[in-house]
A and B are shown apart, each in its own frame.
Chain A
Amino acid sequence: MSALVIVEHDNKQMHSATRNTFAAARQLDNNPVLLVAGQDCKAVAEQAAKMAGAHSVWLVDNPNFAHQLAEIMSDLVVSMASSFSAILAPASTFGKNLLPRIAAKLDVAQVSDVSKIIDQDTFEHPIYAGNAIETVRVLDKIKVLTIRPTAFDAILDEQNPCSIEHLDKTIEGNSTQFIKQELSRSERPDLSSAKIVVSGGRGLQSAEKFKLIEELADALGAAVGASRAAVDAGFVPNDFQVGQTGKVVAPNLYIAVGISGAIQHLAGMKDSKIIVAINKDAEAPIFQIADYGLVGDLFELVPQMIKQLQAM
């Protein structure tokens, strides 16, 4: 079994989810190959080469791949696929965009959001917003998998860098053009990999009042999340959204403030180690899964909490 991991990055930094995906790949192959495609992305290849267990890193450094558009990335990966029996990427928007295109070009199935590897052909993944777990056996020769990062422990150990092989590949004729990216800037930890997440919902009432969630997050060194209701109401941008249609998180501590706990939201956070709910409605469904529940007005409780945390 030989596995290829497609490294997610922004041409400067390897995305942390690659470390979890690499951990999954190592369950299939002791020495997976990592593919870094981008522009001026040598630093990323160097980070990948240091991950414990990396056998070799293939670097395609070419302006063609600057924005890693699915149309040309898929052609690149398909051109090298015959050497591999598994192709993996994180189940992030990057991996979800790219891997089905690769799978279809190879005429093989793709398994999404793999949460457990049972053997070389058999995988578990959540369906119905996490309300059921499906076990599937892939009958195709090449397995194309997106990996749920929170289900695999990141490889943080380092080794002496493995070899970096420069591949000279150009893929021409793309009908898609990159125009721009608008990223939400934040000094806080990344939502999908944070140890603590504080999320706010409709109960916060406005964008101004949502600042309270940010203050609590800062007191805890936590990332900020939100329910779909809070995003739709315009309190925060959509990349803060936790749930079936947003991000899936599994921190040590998840604090849900003013969130009722709809199925869609629970799909994104119910694998957190400890869940705390703060809500004025004692009947809110969130209390059915919370380890610790506090019933009351969040506008009184949260400021108290911030004050006490600062004193700790």
Chain B
Amino acid sequence: MKILVAVKRVIDPYVKVRVRVDGHGVEKQNVKMSMNPFDEIAMEQAVRLLEQKVATEVVVVSIGSETSQETLRHALALGANRAILVKTEESYCSLNIAKILQKIALDEQPDLILMGKQAIDGDNNQTPQMLAALLDWPQGTFVSNLNVNGRAIEITREIDGGLETLSMHLPAVVSVDLRLNEPRYASLPNIMKAKSKPLLIVELETLGLTLKNHVEILNVKAPPVRSAGVKVDSVEELLKKLKHEAKVL
């Protein structure tokens, strides 16, 4: 079984983002970047399937500028066999990203596509579902458990009221939730080995896709600030304030 994993380079989750004063997005200059945490989980799952000999090859793909090579090298160090960078300087909406991934999927013919359920920058939670729709494949979203049984998978999804289990035929698109696994760290020897693994750079223009604009970002602003209130000294004072001052009890 061949697995395709899609990964995204995003601002590190522990960085406190600052909105640019000109309203054009957030400050990305000199900010620490890393692999989207949900994608690390997708990557880990693919590598585990490789180690269990369920998967025969893991291909990792990213869409973005030259610097995304770093994210792909990290994925190779974690255990992916080879990597593809679809190089573009522009940023695209989820639908166009899904169309680019669809092209890669049609070329690569994977049996399973693993992705994070959302990227922590846009918080959209759309691309896997859109990719599944474009390929007309079944989708398993927000997955916290995955079992492969031949040409089918059984997945457990995290839903609002608890958990749901589905089974579906391959090929399928699976988006992973935080609780699927605990991603490993890349060891130094593996980081060294990753340098010699194949990383193919494809210019987006050469894929022959016609992508149109679906959304226009008008501006990005900071949310209303919430400031610190008061510290109280006792439970009694707290309850009194909640009852008489805030009137929420």
**Cα(A101)–Cα(B137), bound, Å:** 11
Tell me whether A140 and B214 are in contact (CB under 8 A): yes
Q: Which residue of B lies closest to A90 (CB)?
A: B160
Which range holds the interface residue count of chain B? 35 or more
Tell me whether B120 and A181 are in contact (CB under 8 A): no
- With A138-B214, A253-B248: A104-B95 Cβ-Cβ less than 8 Å: yes
Given A97, A244, A293, A294, which contacts B120 in the complex, CB threshold below 8 Å? A244
Given A139, A180, A245, A291, which contacts B215 in the complex, CB threshold below 8 Å? A139
| Interface presence of B130 (CB below 8 A) | yes
Please name all residues of chain A whose beta carbon is closer than 8 Å to the beta carbon of B246 when the two chains form the complex.
253, 273-274, 291-292
Tell me whether A101 and B129 are in contact (CB under 8 A): yes
Question: Within B218-249, which residues are at the interface with A (CB < 8 Å)?
Answer: 218-223, 226-232, 234-236, 238-239, 241-243, 246, 248-249
Q: Which residue of A lies closest to B132 (CB)?
A: A101
Interface stretch (choices A152-160, A204-212, A303-311) = A303-311
Tell me whether B133 and A104 are in contact (CB under 8 A): yes
- With A93-B158, A228-B178, A244-B123: A293-B229 Cβ-Cβ less than 8 Å: yes
**Cα(A98)–Cα(B130), bound, Å:** 10
| Interface presence of A237 (CB below 8 A) | yes
Q: Which residue of B lies closest to A220 (CB)?
A: B249
Q: Which residue of A lies closest to B214 (CB)?
A: A109
Tell me whether A180 and B164 are in contact (CB under 8 A): yes
Tell me whether B178 and A128 are in contact (CB under 8 A): no
Tell me whether B235 and A139 are in contact (CB under 8 A): no
- With A239-B160, A263-B16, A292-B230: A180-B165 Cβ-Cβ less than 8 Å: yes
| Interface presence of B166 (CB below 8 A) | yes
Interface stretch (choices B45-53, B54-62, B139-147) = B139-147
- Interchain pairs with CB closer than 8 A, number: 246
- With A178-B166, A238-B158: A131-B16 Cβ-Cβ less than 8 Å: yes
Q: Interface on chain A toward B: helix, strand, loop, or mixed SS? A: mixed
Given A105, A127, A137, A270, which contacts B123 in the complex, CB threshold below 8 Å? A127
Q: Mark B162-180, 1 if CB is under 8 A from A, else 0.
A: 1111111100000001110
- With A138-B214, A252-B248: A293-B129 Cβ-Cβ less than 8 Å: no
Please name all residues of chain A whose beta carbon is closer than 8 Å to the beta carbon of B226 when the two chains form the complex.
270, 275, 289
Tell me whether B216 and A136 are in contact (CB under 8 A): yes
Tell me whether A128 and B17 are in contact (CB under 8 A): yes
CB distance from B230 to the nearest CB of A (A): 6
Residues of B within 8 A of A (CB): 11, 13-14, 16-17, 19, 26, 93-95, 98, 118, 120-134, 138-139, 141-142, 144, 154, 157-169, 177-179, 213-223, 226-232, 234-236, 238-239, 241-243, 246, 248-249
Known: A128-B120, A292-B246. 8 other contacts (CB 8 A): A97-B141, A100-B94, A100-B128, A103-B95, A135-B219, A175-B138, A177-B167, A293-B229
15 contacts between A and B (CB under 8 A): A107-B95, A112-B126, A134-B219, A136-B218, A139-B215, A139-B216, A181-B164, A238-B179, A239-B159, A239-B161, A253-B249, A275-B229, A288-B228, A292-B246, A308-B236
